[in-house]
Amino acid sequence: AQSVAQPEDQVNVAEGNPLTVKCTYSVSGNPYLFWYVQYPNRGLQFLLKYITGDNLVKGSYGFEAEFNKSQTSFHLKKPSALVSDSALYFCAVRDVGNTPLVFGKGTRLSVIA
């Protein structure tokens, strides 16, 4: 069965600095990987996905993620953090077929001005 781990409950970064939110996964076949963001009292919003192709994928709001098959990781990155990026971030994975997404526990990002 597929699983995903987000090793950090909280990440703090200064505004203007680069940010990284970590995610590792486990699947039996080729992974389908996603990142979502949740602002307070809101539903989750899709940021980006990796299905196949280039290991570096770009998404909404200047975010990008790097797929690393050998390390089974899919870390979320942004070159320059904004205070408005402060939110809860979820990594999700699914295996082949019609299996639903499995979500990590989430990482709370706090960007400090």
Partner 1 sequence: NAGVTQTPKFRILKIGQSMTLQCTQDMNHNYMYWYRQDPGMGLKLIYYSVGAGITDKGEVPNGYNVSRSTTEDFPLRLELAAPSQTSVYFCASTRGQNYGYTFGSGTRLTVV
Which of 32, 63, 67, 89 binds partner 1 (CB under 8 A)? It is: 32
Q: Does 102 bind partner 1 (CB under 8 A)?
A: yes
Which member of 25, 34, 63, 89 binds partner 1 (CB under 8 A)?
34
Nearer to partner 1, 22 or 49 (CB): 49
Minimum CB separation from partner 1 for residue 15, in Å?
Answer: 26
103 interacts with partner 1 by CB under 8 A:
yes
HSE at residue 108, side-chain half, CA atoms within 13 A, is 5
Segment interacting with partner 1, rule: CB under 8 A, options 18-26, 45-53, 65-73, 77-85: 45-53
